[in-house]
A and B are shown apart, each in its own frame.
Chain A
Amino acid sequence: MNPASHPRKEPTPAPTETGPTPTAGVPIHVRPATLEDVPALVPLVLRLKRLNEEFDPLLKVRPDAEARASEILAHDIADPEAVVLATEGVGADKNRIVGIVRARIRERNFYLPEREGVILDIYLLPLYRRHGVGEYLLEEITKAVKAKGAGVLTAEFPVQNQIAVAFYHKRGFRPTTGLYSRPL
């Protein structure tokens, strides 16, 4: 499967915003990320991690997070067991990277289905939200991990992120396993 061949999507504007929205009907274009995209993807990943920091002290962002993000993205872009999709604007925002989804394939040793696609990072700049773009990213990543043999799609995010909870819940996800933490 090649997401790049997917036609450009022009999501419909959010229905009941108050007042005019400068970005109504934002068009976007989703494609597999390349190594050249890494510098533009890193800030997006960092924005996501800095938001996570607010939810729990155990999610404090490391000082070397930027370098780590760069390494991990470069690694996963090349790794057949991972998918990194870049979201570009079109028109005036053409060639500007405005969103990212990164997922990895995990083997499930004891359960069926055996292979799981897990969304580790999903981030879209605020102006590009609320136009069905998130939904579209989810569809694209679903196709990509399915193509790699995943029979289940999961998402990891801070449990207090109510927006993420609502986003996934609305799209048929349910909580299955939990991750409880305690500092040592």
Chain B
Amino acid sequence: MAPASAPSRDAAPKEEPRGRAPAPPAGETDAERTAALGERALSLARFYQGKIETVPKVPVRSLEDFSLWYTPGIARVSREIEKDPDASFDLTGRWNTIAIVTDGSRVLGLGDIGPVAATPVMEGKALLFRHLGGVNAIPLPIAIDSDEEFVETVLRIAPAFGAINLEDIASPKCFRILEELQRRLPIPVWHDDQLGTAAATVAGLLNALALTHRDVRRVRTVLLGAGAANLVTARLLLVLGHDPHRLSIVDQKGILDAERDDVDSLQLRNPWKYRLALQTDGGGRRGSFEAALHDADVLLAASRPDPNAVSPAMVRSMAKDPIVFALANPVPEIWPEAARAAGAAIVATGRSDFPNQVNNSLVFPAVFRGVLDARARSIPDEIVLAAARELARHAEDRGLGPEHLLPTMEELEFFPHVAAATAEEAVKLGIARRRRTRDEFFERAREIMHRSAALGAQLRASGLTLPLPDEPAAGGRNGR
């Protein structure tokens, strides 16, 4: 897969050059494109029967080599690890191997389809980890009946892994599971739908604020939607110094405030949302989304795919030169053209066919590269923010502007930089098993990513990775 087509989660397909596509009308065209891609994906799935496989990393010249790679020689290696479990990071592939764990309870926009049906998605994620971050990722959909079982299962499989990526788990149980695993495991545990999306959002926002000469500590922000990503985005904004009195979270019931009728129930069912209800009071604003948005500098919408969820009039009611992130997929809460016509200075979406795609694929491969290279013990918010800041910085590589808020997936050079920033932060926080300089981390990340790309290219060039059966035989394109 060419990097340019690395998708954002749930994103509509890319098929027109970035930035040139006018806002397509909602409905048929998108649906038809998505259906056509679906048909093709199905026939390719049937052809390839799996997107990843394990391949030896050591030479196997004859069966005799197995006395080194396997018994009897290997017993000596096991004994070393028995003495010092952390030696597993040096003597096995643990340093670069992660599990992608899901219960299939919220897969893409498909809902609770269960672990088996989630497998193709997890394989795709594993491919992205390999392709963009050089990470060995094992898809691990698990059949579980409760949050406790989920946690127990991951605790038990953790010894083989350097980090855990949780995927496609319904909210709010994803918060409970992530928190519990982060507390109990000595390796980083990440949930992309929370942390990856929030990090990409924060990165884009930092640049949008810079472009409109705003300070995060002084802006008024409205978050529309109180799902996994927005709750984490709100948390990160507060860590960055955003004034809680100028922050409003809005869900279907309106502005989340500490005395809303459902707040007691939230304390029991969604303590993460509850905590934010108490922390953010938006300056005492209560009631509707419109009430929250009036005079706001920033709208971060991550709610539902409805192009009329935010009207031009609402954008007009915001402060001068407002920033509008309409991140619902596959259809943003307002079409970018409509938002700009209503005065939005900067517009971002989750889609690759508009400028400013806020895409978690910009974040997770590099973050994992970084925490794996530092052999980090955990992944606190400081690391998420370090990655977001570094990502924001690299938008400048090709000219920061209202239509270029973030690096795009075509600009692969930024990945090792973000990895190095992540690893360096882990060292700073004292949670790295391996302490190196930032330059060393950068070189290491670049080498691993380079080797991964070279490996893919070689396999394609040699024909061992079969060319797409529905395309003309491989030419220069595959050599990329």
Contact = CB atoms under 8 A, between A and B. Distances in A.
Interface of A: 17-23, 47-48, 50-51, 54, 125-127, 129-130, 161-163
Nearest to A21: B279
A163 B271 CA distance: 11
Contacts of B275: 17-18
B245 interface: yes
A21 B235 CA distance: 12
A94 B35 CA distance: 61
A19 B264 contact: no
Contact of A126 (B244, B263, B381): B263
A17 B277 CA distance: 13
A22 B264 contact: no
Contact of B264 (A18, A20, A23, A47): A47
Given A18-B239, A19-B239, A163-B268, A127 B244 contact: no
Contact of A22 (B245, B259, B268): B245
Contacts of A47: 261, 264
B278 interface: yes
Contacts of B263: 126
Nearest to A53: B265
Given A126-B258, A130-B278, 12 more contacts: A19-B279, A20-B279, A21-B278, A22-B245, A47-B261, A54-B268, A126-B264, A126-B277, A126-B278, A127-B258, A129-B278, A163-B267
A18 B279 CA distance: 9
Nearest to A162: B268
Shortest 9 CB-CB distances between A and B: which pairs? Answer: A19-B238, A51-B264, A127-B258, A126-B258, A126-B263, A22-B244, A54-B265, A126-B278, A20-B244
Nearest to B266: A126
B274 interface: yes
Contacts, number: 52
7 contacts: A18-B238, A47-B264, A51-B268, A54-B265, A125-B259, A130-B278, A161-B268
B255 to A, nearest CB: 15
B281 interface: yes
A23 B279 CA distance: 8
A23 B235 contact: no
Nearest to A50: B261
Nearest to A160: B268
A178 to B, nearest CB: 21
Given A17-B275, A22-B281, A127 B238 contact: no
Nearest to B236: A19
Interface string B365-393: 00000000000000001000000000000
Interface size classification for chain B: 20 to 34
- The binding surface of chain A is classed by DSSP as loop
Contacts of A163: 267-268
Contacts of A18: 235, 238-239, 275, 381
Interface in B257-309: 258-259, 261, 263-265, 267-268, 274-275, 277-279, 281
Contacts of B268: 51, 54, 161-163
A126 B267 contact: yes
Contacts of A130: 278
B315 to A, nearest CB: 28
B238 A126 contact: no
Nearest to A52: B264
Nearest to A19: B238
Interface in B215-237: 235
B265 A23 contact: no
A143 B353 CA distance: 67
Given A125-B258, A126-B258, A126-B259, A51 B265 contact: yes
Nearest to A48: B264
A126 B274 CA distance: 9
B238 A23 contact: no
Nearest to A18: B235
Nearest to B238: A19
A51 B262 CA distance: 8
Contact of B244 (A19, A48, A162): A19
A161 B264 CA distance: 11
A18 B264 CA distance: 20
Contact of A23 (B261, B267, B278, B381): B278
Contacts of A161: 268
Nearest to B247: A19
Nearest to B263: A126
A29 to B, nearest CB: 19
A47 B263 CA distance: 10
A20 B265 contact: no
Contacts of A48: 264
B382 to A, nearest CB: 12
Contact of A127 (B235, B259, B381): B259
B188 to A, nearest CB: 18
A6 to B, nearest CB: 26
A23 to B, nearest CB: 7
Contacts of A126: 258-259, 263-264, 267, 274, 277-278
Given A18-B235, A22-B244, A127 B261 contact: no
A93 B342 CA distance: 40
A22 B282 CA distance: 11
Contacts of B381: 18
A23 B235 CA distance: 17
A184 B149 CA distance: 36
A23 B244 CA distance: 11
Contact of B279 (A22, A51, A54): A22
Contacts of B235: 18-19
B179 to A, nearest CB: 11
A42 to B, nearest CB: 15
A148 to B, nearest CB: 29
A80 to B, nearest CB: 31
